[in-house]
Amino acid sequence: MKFYVDFDGVIMDTETHLFDDYERLLKSGMVKDDREYMNQFDWERHLENSDVIADSIEILKRVKLDVSILGKICTLHEKEAKLKLLRKHDFNKPIIFVPFDSKKCDVVEAKGNILIDDTIHNLVDWENALGLPIYFNKDECLVDPWGNKNNKYKMVKTLELLYKYEEKNGN
């Protein structure tokens, strides 16, 4: 069994300030749409100003489970900035980036594997591909960043469940 962990909203709180300037720039005509905004976005600065959620990077580094980061990206600059940040933290486990318009289960095998994610539609796709979804929300909120309510999936607020799984299975 493999564990896949989403980056934005699970490992780092990157979503809180991501679109703070978007509406202002859109109204002023400085950007035409969200794609253009994401291409101009200063990912390195944004990641430096974002918080790691509940020691998640250290937890992922310490567990002996087969665990990978599986995160969506909008731009190559975003990918480079995330890689740079993770390498700065000496994170040496697999990091898999998924194009924003693709499903995570199209990039890796979902069947029998666990996805920990903060977005309901990703969990639905994962479950439909016979994977095991776990909903993550650091605030224990049932509504994901897209406004979808979690009525179905087990919820966790830290990645400490990985330690519990490791202990239970003798890893």
36 found inside a domain: no
Q: How many domains does the chain have?
A: 1
Average pLDDT over residues 137-154: 95
∠ Cα 97 126 158 (to 5°) = 75
27 found inside a domain: no
Q: What band does 6 get if pLDDT is binned at 50, 70 and 90?
A: very high
We report the CATH number of the domain holding residue 149 as 3.40.50.1000
41 found inside a domain: no
Rounded to an integer, what distance in angstroms lies between the CA atom of residue 158 and that of residue 4?
Answer: 14
Residue 171 is predicted with a pLDDT of 63
111 found inside a domain: yes
37 found inside a domain: no
| Entry pTM | 0.92
pLDDT by residue (tens digit) across 93-115? 999 999 989 999 999 999 999 99
45 found inside a domain: no
Q: H-helix or E-strand containing 28?
A: helix 22-28
87 found inside a domain: yes
For the CA atoms of the chain, what is the radius of gyration?
16
How many CA atoms within 13 Å lie on the side-chain side of 48? 5
Q: What range does the domain containing 158 cover?
A: 3-16+51-168
Q: What band does 154 get if pLDDT is binned at 50, 70 and 90?
A: very high
